[in-house]
Homo-oligomer: A and B are copies of this chain.
């Protein structure tokens, strides 16, 4: 029942395995993750890891869930710290999103890239964590809407229906319009980041920093966000 001595050690080992795996993937790429190498680097033999994770995919799943939550934590922290008017706060969170992706490319592509083989992470684990990210953007957009800094979008009827189920029956969060804008606004953001992470953006646009800042402001302004005041 209470956390016994052995349970603590076990929990620490579970974490250490993930840490070493992350470190190894940062050095050699997501697909190179090798249980034997992880074990070796921990001074263990490979079969010992099977006491902690039933197989390699289970370890990857754990890493993915961690990555999702780390990103959402990072965004929440950025949102909490952000000051100034709506535009400044919104762009601060957008910048934090890109910042995390560039700082943790392996985790980001673990989440949003093709995560090793035909493997698919279990929905019940990843979808809620992924929703947190959208929820943060939606919350900010709700503030913008309330302040009149964001134009009311016209949400298609069929989409309203789905967004309501997405919002869940629980806590009364952002209005549909905010959720809608966060989803649509996610597309160019995600597109830029995926291209940048896989080095397809730099040869096309030259200065990726400037392109990101410019394009995001440009598109979001055209979507009806007042970012300047």
Contacts and interface: CB of A to CB of B under 8 A. Distances in A.
Interface of A: 28-32, 109, 112-114, 116-120, 123, 127, 130-131, 134, 156, 158-159, 161-162, 166, 183-184, 186-192, 194-195, 198-200, 203-207, 210-211, 214-215, 218-219, 222-223
Contacts of A214: 156, 159
Nearest to A120: B199
Contacts of A183: 204-205
Contacts of A222: 219, 222-223
Contacts of A210: 156, 158-159
A103 to B, nearest CB: 17
Nearest to A110: B114
Contacts of A203: 123, 127, 130
Given A159-B214, A204-B183, A118 B28 contact: yes
Given A187-B187, A190-B191, 20 more contacts: A28-B117, A28-B118, A32-B117, A123-B203, A130-B204, A134-B204, A156-B210, A158-B207, A158-B210, A159-B210, A162-B206, A166-B204, A184-B215, A184-B219, A187-B188, A187-B195, A187-B219, A188-B188, A191-B192, A222-B223
A198 B30 CA distance: 16
Nearest to A119: B29
A191 to B, nearest CB: 3
Contact of A31 (B117, B195, B206): B117
A211 B192 CA distance: 19
A189 B200 CA distance: 14
A64 to B, nearest CB: 12
A144 B113 CA distance: 34
Given A114-B29, A117-B32, A210-B158, A187 B191 contact: yes
Contact of A215 (B30, B123, B187): B187
A114 B113 contact: yes
